[in-house]
Amino acid sequence: MAITVLVVEDERKLRELIRSYLERAGMTVLSTGSGAEAITMAMQSAPDLVVLDLGLPDIPGETVAAELRTMSAVPIVMLTAKAAEEDRIRGLELGADDYVTKPFSPRELVLRVQAIVRRGARAPESHVSSYGDGVLVIDEPRRTVTVRGTPVQLTPTEWGILGALATVPGRVYSRFELINKVRGYEFEGYERTVDSHVKNLRRKVEEDPGSPRVIMTVLGGGYRLGLARDD
Ligand code: CA
Residue 153 pLDDT exceeds 80: yes
Coil vs helix vs strand at 30: strand
> 9 CA to middle of ligand 1, Å?
6
Q: How much distance in Å is there from the Cα of 57 to the middle of ligand 1?
A: 7
Beta strands in 120-161 (DSSP E): 128-131, 136-139, 144-147, 150-152
Kindly state the average pLDDT of the residues 157-174: 90
Integer Cα distance of 201 and 154 in angstroms: 8
Residues contacting 131, CB < 8 A, separation 6+? 137, 138, 166, 169, 225, 227, 228, 229, 230
**Which chain residues have CB less than 5 Å from ligand 1, an ion?**
10, 53, 55
Residue 182 CA to ligand 1 centre (angstroms): 28
Report d(CA 33, CA 75) in Å as an integer. Answer: 19
38 contacts 49 by C-beta, under 8 angstroms: no
Rounded to the nearest whole angstrom, what is the distance from the C-alpha of residue 55 to the centroid of ligand 1? 4
pLDDT band, residue 116 (cuts 50/70/90)? confident
Where is pLDDT greater, at 81 or 216?
A: 216
What torsion do the CA atoms of 136, 142, 144, 147 make, to the nearest 10 degrees? -30
Give 211 Cα–ligand 1 centroid separation in angstroms. Answer: 39
Q: Please tell me the distance between residue 10's alpha carbon and the centre of ligand 1 in angstroms.
A: 5
- Ligand 1 centroid vs 69 CA: distance in angstroms? 21
Other beta carbons less than 10 A from residue 60's beta carbon: 13
> Residue 208: pLDDT above 70?
yes
User: Positive or negative, the Cα torsion across 121, 209, 189, 97?
Assistant: positive
pLDDT at position 122: 52
Query: What is the model's pLDDT at position 49?
Result: 95
Amino acid at 46: A
Residue 15 has pLDDT above 90, yes or no: yes
Residue 125: band (very low, low, confident or very high) from pLDDT cuts 50, 70, 90: very low
Quote the CA–CA distance of 132 and 139 in Å, as a whole number: 15
pLDDT of residue 29 exceeding 90, the answer is yes
Q: Which residues pair with 100 in a beta bridge?
A: 79
Confidence of residue 131 (pLDDT cuts 50, 70, 90): very high
pTM of the model: 0.63
pLDDT score of 23: 96
Residue 120 pLDDT class (50, 70, 90 cuts) = low
Distance 117 CA to ligand 1 centre (A): 24
Residue 103 CA to ligand 1 center (angstroms) comes to 12
What is the average per-residue pLDDT within 83-98?
71
Nearest-Å Rg of the Cα atoms of the chain is: 18
Question: Using CB atoms within 10 A of its CB, is residue 193 exposed (0-12), middle (13-18) or buried (19+)?
Answer: buried
Q: Is the pLDDT of residue 85 over 70?
A: no
Residues 116 and 97 sit within 8 Å (Cβ to Cβ): yes
Using the mean position of ligand 1's atoms as its centre, give its distance from the Cα of residue 195 in Å. Answer: 28
Examine residue 124 and say whether the peptide bond preceding it is cis (omega within 30 degrees of 0): no
pLDDT tens, residue by residue, 33-68: 999 999 999 989 989 999 999 889 999 898 899 888
